[in-house]
Amino acid sequence: MTDSGRQLAGIIGLYDDPDSLIAAAEKVRDAGYEKWDCHTPYPVHGLDAAMGLKPSPLAFLCLGAGGVGAGAAMLMQWWMSAVDYPVRIGGKPFFSWPAFVPIAFELFVLFASLATMGGMLVLCKLGTWASPLHDSGVMAEVTTTRHGVVLNADDPKFDEESARALLEEAGCDDIRLLYENVEEEA
């Protein structure tokens, strides 16, 4: 099967229903694979647990960045209104903090949103376009209708025969090898 100039990147098992996908994911997880993934056209409930994924840390990032935003807003308004150029407006104190709350709230949301977006881009590894799924022509299937379980060739446990057996055990009848198309670069 291996062509010269093409490097084996992994193996994919394609499933048509979410139940077999979950079953397959559980099997791969229990077999102790580390470098593997599921590709699905939409988020499948319960797949995170079946894959043994940890909950996303984004919420902490979001809250932390929001706190920084609100703090920065208060600090900015205090410095500009009470320190750098104090102006008495409406007989209020220079640091009339209740009036500064709306902007602190808005900057909480702004910072938290930007951090969530940035964190998501990094954690989802977005901004990397190359994938053996593109090179082997299965991407269109897993983004539109089918579910794929991918075992990477660089996993220490990987060997073609046992990986194939594992996917078949979970009821898969469409197993394909994934290649990195190296000759196209030249």
- Restricted to residues 133-162, the positions that interact with another protein (CB under 8 A) are 133, 139-140, 142-145
Q: State which residue, 1 or 126, has the beta carbon closest to another protein.
A: 126
Q: Which residue is associated with the tokens 């640091």? A: 95
Dihedral, CA atoms, 97, 101, 106, 112, nearest 10 degrees? 90
Q: State which residue, 3 or 41, has the beta carbon closest to another protein.
A: 41
Q: Taking contact as CB under 8 A, which single stretch among the options 7-15, 83-91, 153-161, 164-172 is the one that binds another protein?
A: 83-91
| Least separation in angstroms between CB 121 and another protein | 7
Q: Does 181 bind another protein (CB under 8 A)?
A: no
Helix (H, G, I), strand (E, B) or coil at 78: helix
Q: Taking contact as CB under 8 A, which single stretch among the options 84-92, 151-159, 165-173, 177-185 is the one that binds another protein?
A: 84-92
| Least separation in angstroms between CB 175 and another protein | 18
Closest by CA to 151, choosing from 130, 133, 126, is 133
Structure-token pair, residue 60:
């902490």
Which positions from 38 to 67 touch another protein by CB under 8 A, shown as an x/- string?
xxxxxxxxxxxxxx-x-xx-xx--x---x-
From 2, 3, 19, 34, residue interacting with another protein (rule: CB under 8 A):
19
Q: Does 124 bind another protein (CB under 8 A)?
A: yes
From 75, 109, 165, 182, residue interacting with another protein (rule: CB under 8 A):
109
How many angstroms separate the CA atoms of 152 and 28, rounded?
A: 12
Q: Is 51 exposed, middle or buried (0-12, 13-18, 19+ CB in 10 A)?
A: middle
Sign of CA dihedral 112, 114, 119, 120: positive
